[in-house]
Structure 1
Amino acid sequence: MPTDAELKVAVLGLGYIGLPTAAVIARTGAQVLGIDVSQSVVDTVNSGRVHIEEIDLDGLVSGVVARGNLRASTLIEPADVFVIAVPTPFDDNHAPDIGYVLKAATTVAAALKAGDVVILESTSPVGTTEKVRDLLAKLRPDLKVPGTGPGTPDIAIAYCPERVLPGRILVELIDNDRVIGGITPRCARKALQFYRRFVRGACVTTTARAAEMTKLTENAFRDVNIAFANELSVVAGNLGIDVWEVIRLANRHPRVNILSPGPGVGGHCIAVDPWFLVHGDPENTPLIRTAREVNDAKTGYTIGRAEALIEAMPGAPVACLGLAFKANIDDFRESPALKVAASLAHRFGERVRIVEPYADTLPKAFDGSGAGLIDIDTALETCPILIVLVDHDVFRSVPLEERAAKRVYDTRGIWPDQPQLAVSEVSPIRLAS
């Protein structure tokens, strides 16, 4: 593989994973081309700016673009390493859609040459990397593709899932361990050489299928444990008990570590990936399916409790605090907070005001609702009802004296000193999918 200064890398997809990955690789001195279907994303990156919110990403992108190590385009070019980081959504029946991955692989095929490495990073159902291999073999019969016949392959194909936390992506891209699965052991070794250029964490090699399942397992583990916390919060609410106190006390047991409940589960990973395991073996995944259903149902439960609180104060303005799927980011994908706030906005109209410090305008989900976007100070001055949906730091910092007189539904437990609502005001409400 070429030296850092000579290495050419193409990253397909400049979203929440692709752009930080491209920038981190460019920082090593490699020549990185970011490919995206959006011309506006390409223009933004080429101007040295970013279109997503991530700590320190703006400065990093500005620097590597200025040095000529990162540029963006809608068109593929020859490279030594191709990294695919495109979305993998699911359809209405929770079946995974790998169409974007296969389209990206088709794009890569046009630029492939002997010696190249193709790496899929998108979270994918088990067997997706093999589908990429088969597609490349079909589109490029002039190249020997690994796992499709005898002889030394001309290219290497591997799967290496991202495992980063939004808000810490630049740190975790470098420090976290990486699982690298090759179509063949040789493929894994070739990909390993690439990741060792910028990853300080351990790089562990395995098969592509094992690496694919590892990523799905990590997110399903989180989902199942969050479902337990969400189910506890419903039981505690209906019994008139503070679930946050119960969790704090239970976690004093040396072998108990209950996670935090919320209004559901969001993001493109935990809210999506467990379905890939369910779809792969529906007969043997009842626990994973149930966890998904519990977490999805918690959003409806949250809407019901919020509606009961709002109806108890006819005409009073309501502030919904947060739309993102987690704290201190601008990512609204699969966000339960957005679903709750949009549902309330369409039911109660102009009474509902939205506070989201990481948005300049309201998402399309609010079109026609009459809801407006305000800041936290305005919310505290004008809204007697506060519904906490995201634990942004700016919300945590609000002192008790500014909210003590408010009616508060805190779905994130950020204000443990807040006077609790009477159970009769908001409960009982059944958790149901």
Structure 2
Amino acid sequence: MSFNTISVIGLGYIGLPTAAMFASRKKSVIGVDVNQHAVDTINRGEIHIVEPDLDMIVHAAVAEGYLKAVTSPEPADAFLIAVPTPFKNNDSTIPEPDLSYIKKASEAIAPVLKKGDLVILESTSPVGATEQMAEWLAAARPDLSFPQAAGEEADINVAHCPERVLPGHVVRELVENDRVIGGMTAKCSARAVELYKTFVQGECVITNARTAEMAKLTENSCRDVQIAFANELSVICDKLDIDVWELISLANRHPRINILQPGPGVGGHCIAVDPWFIVSKTPEEAQIIHTARKVNDAKPQWVINKVKLAIADFLQANPTKTAKDVTIACYGLAFKPDIDDLRESPALNITKKIVEFHSGTVIAVEPNVATVDINNLLLVSLTEALESADVNVLLVNHKAFAEIDFKGDYIINTVR
């Protein structure tokens, strides 16, 4: 069975590039999103996110009639679900995954499913989410059979295939990276491989759904642990009056050592989130993973404390001024350099906290976004910030800041 029409549910940082790649191979692609602005923007041949080269691909795909965006699912041969998997809003010390977006997406596509269709969950998910999705689909369509009951003979094939791309390099990595394919049956896996080979040049490695889910969580948890080591090291070095950047550079000269660079915390919808999916399932066993999360989540407060000390030092050196006279500039709000993604950004959260406690002016420089929803925060140019700030806080190592020498008094440099 061939895939003539492909539907991608969720047109965000992963869904839209994925839809565009299928469309660039002359497949008919229907993108689905509840955000009307996103739908309208895409249908004009434009994009609502920042990702290099994506704008040209989307423009061509729309102009040639291979890609369209809608707010409600339509019939297709394959459905890829790429919706958020946030945490539930509760007071638990261990965040609990919120699968409501996956459930809503499943219920949305269920009415248009037909025998022979393939459903793939791309959303990064806790172990067992793909099986849960299949149960939701089965409940909504009792007239169709699914792998958990019918095995290889199921009317609908179901698989998990996590995205494994780096923001800023998504277009290239979608094509070049290996893909982990976790079908609920061997047939499900085989059909998923057939679909992805439409544009994927990397190897499609087959496993089961649970292992595929765990693979993505493991990759990001490993990264989180490595970053936690660097962040903890930076705190230790600060207390011991050691330049952590020089220290890491020296240590990395060892042929078997590769320490990452510390920062203000960990952000994004992957590394800052995925480890909790493991911890929530196995809280007694995931000791190192849990500790790494706590170390990285504590780093923003450490930065905030450094800002408060810098304000105090400035006021001591300028006794005629009060806190209201102190202007603080925060450089970078995205969760990593040279993108517009603010999800789980420690830089953004640090800036919010500074605005909350500081009685003076707080300004920010973020070259990748036009507006930020933070009351009493002013987005300004780099030149204006450097001219007017009394305390400077470098939070993200954007290329736009590369030529600036962030050294001297009243400077908190978290990334270099």
TM-score (ref. length: structure 2): 0.94
User: Does structure 1 residue 292 correspond to structure 2 residue 293?
Assistant: yes
Q: Does the CA-based 8 Å contact 2:314-2:410 persist in structure 1? A: no
Task: Choose which of 393, 399, 413 in structure 2 pairs with 1:410.
Answer: 413
Letter in 1 for 2:295: V
**Shift of the alpha carbon at 1:394?**
0.2
Deviations 1:16-60 (A, max 9, x none): 111111111110000001100111111111111111111111111
Q: Does the CA-based 8 Å contact 2:152-2:187 persist in structure 1? A: no
Task: Choose which of 333, 337, 350 in structure 1 pairs with 2:343.
Answer: 333
**Shift of the alpha carbon at 1:137?**
1.7
Distance in 2 between the 1:59 and 1:385 partners? Answer: 40
Q: What is the number of equivalent residue pairs in this alignment?
A: 403
Aligned residue number for residue 123 of structure 2: 122
Q: Does the CA-based 8 Å contact 1:353-1:371 persist in structure 2? A: yes
Aligned residue number for residue 211 of structure 1: 212
Aligned partner of residue 299 in structure 1, secondary structure: helix
Q: Which runs of 4+ in 1 moved over 3 A?
A: 403-407
Aligned residue number for residue 67 of structure 1: 64
Aligned residue number for residue 79 of structure 1: 76
Letter in 1 for 2:237: A
Aligned partner of residue 153 in structure 2, secondary structure: coil
Aligned residue number for residue 362 of structure 1: 372
Letter in 1 for 2:127: V
Deviations 1:133-181 (A, max 9, x none): 1122222122121131367111210000001000001011111100000
Q: Does the CA-based 8 Å contact 1:33-1:71 persist in structure 2? A: yes
**Shift of the alpha carbon at 1:205?**
0.5
Distance in 1 between the 2:196 and 2:250 partners? Answer: 42
1:151–1:392 CA distance, 2 compared to 1 (3 A): closer
Aligned partner of residue 171 in structure 1, secondary structure: helix
Aligned partner of residue 267 in structure 1, secondary structure: coil
Letter in 2 for 1:298: K
Deviations 1:282-329 (A, max 9, x none): 110111111000000011111101111122213332211010000001
Aligned partner of residue 205 in structure 2, secondary structure: strand
130-139 or 199-208: bigger deviation:
130-139
Deviations 1:351-399 (A, max 9, x none): 2211111121222xx21xx33111111112222421100011001122x
Aligned residue number for residue 238 of structure 1: 239
Letter in 1 for 2:362: V
Identity of aligned residues (%): 51
Distance in 2 between the 1:71 and 1:157 partners? Answer: 24
1:198–1:349 CA distance, 2 compared to 1 (3 A): farther
Aligned residue number for residue 34 of structure 1: 31
Aligned residue number for residue 13 of structure 2: 16
Aligned residue number for residue 429 of structure 1: none
Counterparts of residues 236-275 of structure 1 (less than 5 Å): 236-275=237-276
Distance in 2 between the 1:317 and 1:112 partners? Answer: 57
Aligned residue number for residue 302 of structure 2: 301
89-98 or 204-213: bigger deviation:
89-98
Aligned CA-pair RMSD:
1.3
Letter in 2 for 1:408: I
**Shift of the alpha carbon at 1:350?**
4.0
Q: Does the CA-based 8 Å contact 1:350-1:372 persist in structure 2? A: no
Letter in 2 for 1:339: N
Unaligned runs of 5+ in 2: 316-324
Aligned partner of residue 276 in structure 2, secondary structure: helix
Distance in 2 between the 1:362 and 1:96 partners? Answer: 26
Distance in 2 between the 1:310 and 1:21 partners? Answer: 46
Aligned partner of residue 149 in structure 1, secondary structure: helix
Letter in 2 for 1:411: T
Q: Does the CA-based 8 Å contact 1:384-1:406 persist in structure 2? A: no
1:389–1:87 CA distance, 2 compared to 1 (3 A): same
**Shift of the alpha carbon at 1:348?**
1.7
**Shift of the alpha carbon at 1:349?**
4.0
Q: Does the CA-based 8 Å contact 1:349-1:371 persist in structure 2? A: no
User: Does structure 1 residue 395 correspond to structure 2 residue 401?
Assistant: yes
Distance in 1 between the 2:256 and 2:111 partners? Answer: 53
1:188–1:150 CA distance, 2 compared to 1 (3 A): closer
50-59 or 202-211: bigger deviation:
50-59
Aligned residue number for residue 55 of structure 2: 58
Aligned residue number for residue 324 of structure 1: 334
Distance in 1 between the 2:82 and 2:313 partners? Answer: 47
Distance in 2 between the 1:383 and 1:140 partners? Answer: 60
Distance in 1 between the 2:248 and 2:280 partners? Answer: 32
**Shift of the alpha carbon at 1:404?**
5.5
Q: Does the CA-based 8 Å contact 2:326-2:360 persist in structure 1? A: no
Q: Does the CA-based 8 Å contact 2:151-2:185 persist in structure 1? A: no
Distance in 2 between the 1:302 and 1:209 partners? Answer: 38
